[in-house]
Amino acid sequence: MKPIYFDNNATTPVAPEVLDAMLPYLKEYYGNPSSMHTFGGQLHKKVEEARARVAELIGADPEEIIFTSCGTESDNTAIAGAVEVSGGKRHIITTRVEHPAVMNFAKHLSRKGYRSTFLPVDSLGRLDMKAFADALDDDTAIVSVMYANNETGVIFPVAEIGSVLRERGIIFHSDAVQAAGKILLNVKELPVDMLSLSGHKIHAPKGIGALYVRKGTRFYPYVIGGHQERGRRAGTENVASIMGLGKACELAKAHIENESAYLSALRDRLENALVKNCPDSRINGDTENRLPNTTNISFEYVEGEAILLRLDEHGICASSGSACSSGSLEPSHVLRAMGVPFTLIHGSIRFSLSRYNTEAEVDKVIELMPALIKDLRALSPFGKKI
């Protein structure tokens, strides 16, 4: 059975055009772009073409793009590099709602004698700008604030943060893994020094990412070895996936405005119907400032896992902000940081859409959910009779 897939913030299907762009590089063009011979060397030009497409998605120059193995590596590289070049500064500022790729790396550095500040957010998931201003000090090596949150879709005031940091000469990194390709980004107008991207969130394969590093930003490589990526990231290039990422960025760039309008209309249709037809439900996050494809809804008095299992029986894929399904026993750190009560965190479900979702798929969820929730509440020892 073909799944009805509403878990696109976890990963996306590879676009057919992306697969077509990759296949020749897994079959006949298997050479190493660093080789002296023509067979391998010709791939260097192809990698550079892909780099230009990635750059174009975010308004960067091609030489500002470094290919990495994933969003996590891009995040780790940005923070580790900034700390390395900071001349002994030991303070890292980030937020309480980052992806573990940033949050756990900051915690890791804290265990090594660095100091990390995790900025709070309000009940809508918006950054506390006063806490941000208060946290800055002369020891701050880097500020890393995500562009958009993976669980709620809430978009952060990256331009505002960046202009404060630029004045103070502090390196600014933003994890744009969920934002790139979904909303327009232009680093020419955005005061960020580094930006992380990941292929598998935008219909390229898993295991390819990119890090934008603004020209002139002090940088130190994280993966050390050969001279690839102009000495900024060692390791023989993942040529096929790089070609795939290039194609995915080209597609995203070409369709971003139409797609964003399509996705937000579809998302709103789903969200409005669920909140209207399922009593005791509410949206988590700032609905005024969100990615177009994401909704996070809490259904009180019911377990998120139970909802997911029931949806799964109908071939519907989503994810929950509570326990095991997210691979951890902890309730969502994002919803906790927002002060969402535990009963609501446990009943939270994220639906994240992509260009491949249809109105018919949304309508199937709309049709199923009210009875499903009512049923689960009747079964649950915590369930409220409705």
| Terminal Cα-to-Cα distance of the chain (whole angstroms) | 33
- Of the candidate residues 46, 152, 161, 175, the single one contacting ligand PLP (CB under 6 A): 175
- Of the candidate residues 119, 177, 239, 252, the single one contacting ligand PLP (CB under 6 A): 177
Q: Which stretch binds ligand PLP (CB under 6 A): 66-74, 315-323, 330-338, 351-359?
A: 66-74
Owner of token pair 């249809």: 358
d(CA 317, CA 314): 9
Told to judge if 278 belongs to the known catalytic residues of this protein, a careful annotator would answer no
Instruction: Please identify the residue of the shown chain whose CB is closest to the bound ligand PLP.
Output: 71
- Of the candidate residues 8, 12, 72, 152, the single one contacting ligand PLP (CB under 6 A): 72
Give least dist CB 162 to ligand PLP, A: 18
- Site track for ligand PLP across 332-351, x = CB under 6 A: --------------------
Q: Which two tokens stand for residue 309?
A: 């299992």
With vertex at residue 189, the alpha carbon angle to CA 184 and CA 190, rounded to the nearest 5 degrees, is 80
Which residue, 267 or 377, is less far from ligand PLP as judged by CB? 267
- Of the candidate residues 174, 198, 296, 348, the single one contacting ligand PLP (CB under 6 A): 198
Which residue, 96 or 200, is less far from ligand PLP as judged by CB? 200
Count other Cβ atoms within 10 Å, centred on residue 382. 12
Q: Which stretch binds ligand PLP (CB under 6 A): 19-27, 172-180, 243-251, 258-266?
A: 172-180
- Of the candidate residues 71, 125, 162, 246, the single one contacting ligand PLP (CB under 6 A): 71
Which of 259, 255, 325 lies closest to 291 in space, CA to CA? 259
- For residues 322 and 275, the answer to whether their CB atoms sit within 8 Å is no
Kindly determine how many residues on this chain lie close enough to bind ligand PLP according to the rule CB under 6 A: 14
Instruction: Classify burial at 112, counting beta carbons within 10 Å of its beta carbon; exposed 0-12, middle 13-18, buried 19 or more.
Output: exposed
| CB-based contacts of 307, cutoff 8 Å, min separation 6 | 299, 318, 320, 347, 349, 372, 373, 376
What is the binding site for ligand PLP (CB under 6 A)? 70-72, 75, 99, 101, 146, 150, 175, 177-178, 198, 200, 209
Q: List residues with catalytic annotation.
A: 324
